Amino acid sequence: MPTTSDDCIFCKIIAGELPARIVREDERTVAFMDIAPATYGHTLVVPRNHAQDLLEIPAEDLEAVVRAGRAVAGRVKERLGADGVNLINSCGSAAWQTVFHFHLHVIPRYADDPLKLPWIPAQGDPDEIAMAAAQLLG
């Protein structure tokens, strides 16, 4: 039996208590259409077991979500004619997470869609990069 959270909208979708357009499911994951899509075919992939975010989800469930996300990405390219796909996860409020049940956005990309990078790529400060790398090593 999956672990759930009583106030989690995704747990309610998984339990069938709220409607959703489910496009794929297996013993560990459920994929359903995002009700506020960034592009045509935007899908969410979630683990059946409740985990708040990337830092809480067990490795087995994370692996299952990634495998399911790849399968959905293949479908959106093949069946919806997407030119590319973004897989996005937000971990924490500062990273734009709004539903606190781990989920992977599968966002089909089309040559003429309006989405843009949320930052402007530019050369970083080498000393700052080296300092961050040193902090992450240990």
| Set 42, 101, 103, 105: catalytic member | 103
User: 135 is written with which tokens?
Assistant: 């902090």
Residue 68 main-chain phi, psi, to 5 deg = -65, -40
List the end-to-end C-alpha distance of the chain, in Å, as a whole number.
38
Q: Give yes or no: 105 in active site.
A: no
**C-alpha to C-alpha distance for 94 and 75, rounded to whole angstroms:** 31
- Kindly list the distances between the CA atom of residue 136 and the CA atoms of 53, 68, 70, 133, in Å, as whole numbers in the listed order: 21, 30, 28, 5
Catalytic residues: 103
